[in-house]
Chains A and B, each alone.
Chain A
Amino acid sequence: MRDKTLKLVLTFYTTTAAMAMERLCADVHLPGRLIPVPREITAGCGMAWCAAPQDRQNLLNAAKSAGIQISGVYELML
């Protein structure tokens, strides 16, 4: 397993919103990637956006202006 570091994790209500977030971040050059939702957040399945904690506000602002609904914002060692 890779070494764990602090990550920002954004969760969504739908896969469609997660895909919209991936496309948005590519468009506005905010780094990150889609990961399975960590079990610390929920034991269910689904996708989450994993990014650097310092990009938190930029990501939230970008999501808000694009109308992407975020169901949760977390900082986790991943």
Chain B
Amino acid sequence: MIYLDNAATTMQKPDAVIDAAVLAMRSLANPGRGTNESALSAARAVYDARVRTAAFFGCTSAERVVFTCNSTEALNIAIQGIFKKDDHVITTDLEHNSVLRPLYLMEEQRGVSLSFVRSDANGNISYEDFDALMQPNTRAIVCTHASNVTGNVLDICKIGDIAKRHGVLFIVDASQSAGCLPIDMEACGIDVLCFTGHKSMMAPQGTGGLCIGEGVDIQPLKVGGTGVFSYSKNQPEQYPTRLEAGTLNSHGIAALACAIDYIERIGITAIHEKEMALMRTFYDGIANIEGVTVYGDFSTAIRTPIVTLNVRDLDSGAVSDELSVTYGIATRPGAHCAPRMHEALGTVSQGAVRFSFGWFNTQDEVVEAIKAIKEIALKS
């Protein structure tokens, strides 16, 4: 199989990451629960991962790295833990449901009002719209770093500047960019960065987290066992314990630390360049095929390695199925959990077929994918 669905999850992981997960499963007990040697080994592994994660994303301290099972959980913690009655939030049409649904929940439950920076038909936004949408009660900008549909990247440093100028919080969904593009929270004025481990970071599913800037107050989404202050009725106030109830996924977190080490050893720029080269080869090979429509802006150097397309008016699910069954190529059709993005692209009924490239893909695989699309377009 040729795996080109890396934006959903990187199925191929570095051997070192797999080995780290296996070793952790063989040797780590419950982190933060007792001081027997295997429990301490687990706590040390988790702490090491916090230190590495903080450094990787430019977070001020390891204590402000909170581990979750994915971006969605991190975004729910941030969104449900920050917004209060009558707050106003600015977000964009590019968002995944992991941002949209928690925001809609806050709209329904707490009377939070929402404004959307609109996308054009190419998946681009106007940054001036953030300024124009500001209100006296605006509490935050919540937005993705990169669209999971088009691969278009937002200039988060520019948005961070806008947020700071207006004195509002800046919450970033880095699901598609963490591990693929460099992110520096401090340099870009990010107050909360939500990330997942299993996509471009090449770590196991069930890993992720949020990095919290100084002075940001987040109420816990869940409370429970923490390994400290057991006789208190309340969840401890200090980060990260405040937002981490229950046993952490120390096995996955140990592998996440290894994945960060792997990315840093290769260099995130080298990874991005390789993935961009794969994406460009594919784009150049299919963009001019008669009947193929490509979505997104390919005029920029900074993108994530995604090419999303349709073939004539064919159901995207049927095209993806044909790619899978006839050609052994894994892609993702449909709406990609990004309803407003597809509305902007005009692809609600058809969906679209997403090809997303990763570190372990090869140019030969891309050539096979181009050949497959040419044949499908020719025969349809």
**B partners with A:** yes
Residues in chain A near residue B35, CB distance under 8 A: 34-36, 47
A22 x B228 contact (CB < 8 A): no
Judged by a CB distance under 8 angstroms, whether B27 is at the interface is no
A46 x B63 contact (CB < 8 A): no
Q: How far is the CA of A28 from the CA of B32 in the complex (A)?
A: 23
A48 to chain B, nearest CB (A): 9
A72 to chain B, nearest CB (A): 12
Q: How far is the CA of A45 from the CA of B316 in the complex (A)?
A: 54
Residues of chain A having any CB pair with chain B under 8 Å: 12-20, 22-23, 34-36, 42-47, 67, 69
Interface size class of B (residues with CB under 8 A): 20 to 34
Q: What are 27 A-to-B residue pairs whose CB atoms are below 8 Å?
A: A13-B236, A13-B237, A14-B63, A14-B241, A15-B227, A15-B241, A16-B47, A16-B240, A16-B241, A18-B43, A19-B44, A20-B62, A20-B63, A23-B44, A34-B40, A35-B35, A36-B34, A36-B35, A42-B229, A43-B231, A44-B232, A45-B34, A46-B228, A47-B32, A47-B35, A67-B61, A69-B238
Q: How far is the CA of A14 from the CA of B32 in the complex (A)?
A: 9
A45 with B230, Cβ < 8 A, contacts A23-B47, A34-B40 known: yes
Q: Which of A17, A20, A22, A46 contacts B229 (CB 8 A)?
A: A46
A69 to chain B, nearest CB (A): 7
A7 to chain B, nearest CB (A): 14
Residues in chain B near residue A35, CB distance under 8 A: 35
Residues in chain B near residue A13, CB distance under 8 A: 228, 236-238, 241
A12 to chain B, nearest CB (A): 8
B265 to chain A, nearest CB (A): 22
Judged by a CB distance under 8 angstroms, whether B50 is at the interface is yes
Q: How far is the CA of A42 from the CA of B239 in the complex (A)?
A: 21
Residues in chain A near residue B50, CB distance under 8 A: 16
Judged by a CB distance under 8 angstroms, whether B13 is at the interface is no
Q: Which residue of A lies closest to B40 (CB)?
A: A34
Judged by a CB distance under 8 angstroms, whether B374 is at the interface is no
Q: Which residue of B lies closest to A66 (CB)?
A: B61
Q: How far is the CA of A74 from the CA of B240 in the complex (A)?
A: 25
Residues in chain A near residue B230, CB distance under 8 A: 43-46
B34 x A16 contact (CB < 8 A): no
Can you name 20 extra interface pairs (CB under 8 A) apart from A13-B241, A44-B228? Answer: A13-B238, A15-B31, A15-B32, A15-B43, A15-B241, A16-B47, A16-B50, A23-B47, A34-B35, A42-B229, A43-B230, A43-B231, A44-B229, A44-B232, A45-B33, A45-B227, A45-B228, A46-B228, A47-B35, A47-B227
A22 with B32, Cβ < 8 A, contacts A44-B228, A69-B238 known: no
Q: Which of A20, A43, A67 contacts B47 (CB 8 A)?
A: A20
Residues in chain B near residue A22, CB distance under 8 A: 44
Residues in chain A near residue B44, CB distance under 8 A: 19, 22-23
Q: Closest 9 interchain pairs by CB?
A: A19-B47, A15-B32, A44-B230, A46-B228, A13-B238, A14-B241, A14-B238, A45-B230, A44-B231
